[in-house]
Amino acid sequence: MFCGCLFDAASGEAKRRVIESDRLRVAFVLALLVTAVTLRSPIGLLGVLIVLAGLISRSGIRWSYVMRRTFLILPFGLLTVLSLPFVLSGPSVDLFGMVTVSLEGMRKSALLVQKLWAANWCITFLLGTTPQDRLFRTLKAMGMPPVLVVMMSFTLRYLSVLAEEVDSMILSQKARGFSFRIFDSWSNYKRAGQLLGVLLIRSMQRSIRVHQAMIARGYTLAEDRKKLAVKAEEQGGMEYAGTGHRSGKSQFLLSGQNKSSA
């Protein structure tokens, strides 16, 4: 399905690595992302896009996959891009003698489109050249808080589930004769809004169920697990002190030494 391929990082996997070191690759992409966000010159942003296009071409990521993912930015930035020329003040021009648009608003709209485009290509290149498990390990090793790493990992993991949910909803609506290509009546917009609401409710319910299942299985962050293990080891050592018994970790270490000596 179309939505599924958008969120499947494997479908856009690179054929070769432009930068071998994971840390260097992540740092370079983050530097490009920060540069794209802070730049206010269209020429500078165009240079960033050219660099990203060269990296994507060199890595062998399919451009059809890249362009499909580029269209993901449209729902998030389209309303802002279209509204800026009408809400910002400054020198203006008349379009077709009907509407007046601000030149400053048009310039900022163009900058916003370039920034969204560059950010999308940065993420696409990074996910296409770095496996997810290695990416998260690299981010954690570079000092990113574990909570953010866990949130990012679960977001990427469940995006594919969300895409499958969208595909199933679209398929069921097509079976009922509803077309998503033609929005010529208010009922079609109303139906699309209802589907988005149902998708939001299902996503929230799924997140609650997943969180409850994780808690029921004793899930904690890696740092919390280490603290609990150390605390259990200390309590076990104090409990068996003077009795001739050893804690589970000590028994495991000694059993390994005995096997190696044997």
CA distance 245 to 42: 71
Q: Where among 111, 137, 163 does a domain terminate?
A: 137
Whether 174 and 111 map to the same domain: the answer is no
Whether 32 and 161 map to the same domain: the answer is no
Q: Residue ranges of the alpha helices (H) in 130-221? A: 132-141, 146-175, 186-216
Q: Quick one: pLDDT at residue 220?
A: 73
Q: Quick one: pLDDT at residue 184?
A: 62
Q: Quick one: pLDDT at residue 226?
A: 57
Count CB-CB contacts under 10 A for residue 13. Answer: 16
For the stretch 177-215, pLDDT in tens is 777 666 566 777 787 788 888 888 988 898 899 888 888
Residue 233 belongs to what domain range?
A: 145-239
231 pLDDT above the threshold of 60: no
The answer to whether residue 249 sits within a structural domain is no
The answer to whether residue 257 sits within a structural domain is no
Q: Label the pairing between strands 99-102 and 92-95.
A: antiparallel
* Geometric angle at alpha carbon 153, from 57 and 131, rounded to 5°: 35
Q: Quick one: pLDDT at residue 35?
A: 93
Whether 181 and 51 map to the same domain: the answer is no
CA distance 49 to 116: 11
- Phi, psi angle pair for 102, to nearest 5°: -85, 135
For residues 119 and 4, the answer to whether their CB atoms sit within 8 Å is no
The answer to whether residue 122 sits within a structural domain is yes
For the stretch 103-156, pLDDT in tens is 888 888 888 888 999 999 998 898 888 888 888 889 888 888 888 888 888 888
The answer to whether residue 253 sits within a structural domain is no
Whether 161 and 232 map to the same domain: the answer is yes
For residues 109 and 84, the answer to whether their CB atoms sit within 8 Å is yes
Whether 42 and 110 map to the same domain: the answer is yes
Q: Quick one: pLDDT at residue 51?
A: 93
Whether 54 and 75 map to the same domain: the answer is yes
Q: What is the pTM of this model?
A: 0.65
3-state secondary structure 13-66: CCCCCCCCCHHHHHHHHHHHHHHHHHCCCHHHHHHHHHHHHHHHHHHCCCHHHH
Whether 34 and 127 map to the same domain: the answer is yes
For the stretch 28-77, pLDDT in tens is 999 999 999 898 888 999 999 999 999 998 888 888 888 888 887 777 77
Q: What is the H or E stretch that residue 93 is in?
A: strand 92-95
What is the C-alpha end-to-end distance of the chain, expressed in Å? 57
For the stretch 71-98, pLDDT in tens is 877 777 777 888 888 877 777 777 776 7
